[in-house]
């Protein structure tokens, strides 16, 4: 699993050691340590509690193992990375600038996913951040690395979500050739010519009908050039504003009659 393939970063080890020592006050500042702790919890190294609005964290046996051995326990990973043993880091050694410098939530999320190997499972019961809004904001404000795709999917349980950072699919990166749309149609496609006589086509305004004919001609001609067969299907009647109003009036009258049948009679 990619989550356990890479060793922890120095600032992650520092937070892990700080939690192992009982999270003493005055050692860390700000709230960035909570984001680091969330990544540690996804690796099963700590457990986070928020009882009565108070944030606390306790180290697990796997976390104690990592501090002592400098690597993950063999039983929670598929492959054990060859990492030289690291000595436990004392809380006083927490001086990494990432813990003190404020990082945008969207950037921090992407950093956590990258550190997790591109796939970060999160227990939403322990981590209350709105990950769907964070992913949407990261995409909206161009925080996602170029050529990558940031997604949020459901995990193995209703409490778990998985944030993924992966390469974009080929269809999103492929350069598409533009289809030429002619300005005039001296010889329209036969199916376009046959559509001119349908009621739906005749209901369009002249300017919209002319543009629709040119677009249909371009799409049909290009499809045939690529080896596709085109068939003219039947349209089940036109759907105008008048038919929509008639449909609404019909449903309203049915509801009134049903209501009158169900109304109890006075005795």
Structure confidence by residue, pLDDT tens digits, 125-174 = 888 888 889 999 999 988 888 888 899 998 888 889 999 998 888 777 77
Q: What is the pLDDT of residue 58?
A: 92
Please tell me the predicted confidence (pLDDT) of residue 266.
47
- What is the location of CATH 1.10.10 in the chain? 1-102, 103-169
Question: Higher-confidence residue: 189 or 246?
Answer: 189
94/73: higher pLDDT? 73
Reported as half-sphere exposure (CB side, CA atoms, 13 A), residue 208 has a value of: 6
- DSSP label at residue 224: H
* Collapsed DSSP state (helix, strand, coil) of residue 229: coil
- Which pLDDT band holds residue 249 (cuts at 50, 70, 90)? low
- Smallest CA-to-CA distance from 149 within 171, 164, 137 is with 164
What's the CATH class of domain 1-102? mainly alpha
* pLDDT computed for residue 78 by the predictor: 45
Average pLDDT over residues 218-244: 71
In Å, the largest CA–CA distance within the chain is 90
- The whole-chain average pLDDT of the chain stands at 77
> How many residues does the structure list for the chain?
267
Encoding tokens for residue 47?
């457990």
CATH topology of domain 103-169: Arc Repressor Mutant, subunit A (1.10.10)
For residue 218, pLDDT over 90 is answered with: yes
Q: Structure tokens of 137? A: 């904001």
Greatest mean pLDDT range, 18-32, 37-51, 98-112, 212-226: 212-226
Question: pLDDT grade, residue 80 (50/70/90)?
Answer: very low
Name the pLDDT band for 241 (thresholds 50, 70, 90). very low
SS3 62: helix
Task: Say if residues 168 and 147 touch (Cβ distance below 8 Å).
Answer: yes
Categorize the per-residue pLDDT at 238 as very low, low, confident or very high, splitting at 50, 70 and 90.
very low
Q: What's the token pair of residue 78?
A: 């598929």
């Amino acid at each position: 699993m990619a989550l356990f393939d890479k060793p922890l970063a120095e600032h992650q080890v520092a937070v892990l050691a700080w939690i192992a020592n009982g999270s003493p006050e005055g050692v860390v500042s700000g709230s960035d340590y909570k984001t680091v702790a969330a990544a540690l919890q996804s690796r099963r190294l700590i457990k986070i509690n928020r009882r009565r609005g108070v944030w606390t964290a306790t180290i697990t046996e796997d976390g104690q193992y990592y501090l002592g051995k400098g690597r993950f326990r063999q039983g929670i990973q598929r492959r054990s990375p060859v990492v030289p043993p690291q000595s436990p880091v004392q809380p006083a050694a927490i001086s990494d600038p990432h813990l003190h410098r404020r990082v945008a939530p969207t950037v921090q999320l992407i950093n956590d996913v990258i550190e997790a190997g591109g796939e970060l499972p999160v227990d939403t019961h322990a981590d209350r951040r709105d990950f769907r809004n964070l992913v949407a904001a990261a995409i909206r404000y161009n925080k996602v690395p170029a050529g990558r795709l940031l997604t949020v999917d459901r995990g193995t349980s209703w409490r778990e979500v998985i944030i993924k950072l992966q390469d974009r699919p080929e269809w999103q990166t492929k350069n598409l050739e533009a289809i030429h749309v002619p300005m005039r149609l001296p010889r329209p496609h036969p199916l376009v010519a046959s559509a001119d006589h349908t009621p739906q086509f005749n209901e369009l305004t002249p300017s919209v009908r002319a543009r629709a004919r040119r677009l249909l001609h371009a799409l049909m001609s290009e499809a045939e050039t690529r080896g596709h067969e085109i068939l003219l299907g039947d349209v089940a009647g036109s759907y105008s504003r008048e038919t929509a109003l008639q449909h609404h009036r019909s449903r309203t009258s049915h509801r009134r009659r049903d209501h009158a049948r169900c109304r109890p009679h006075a005795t």
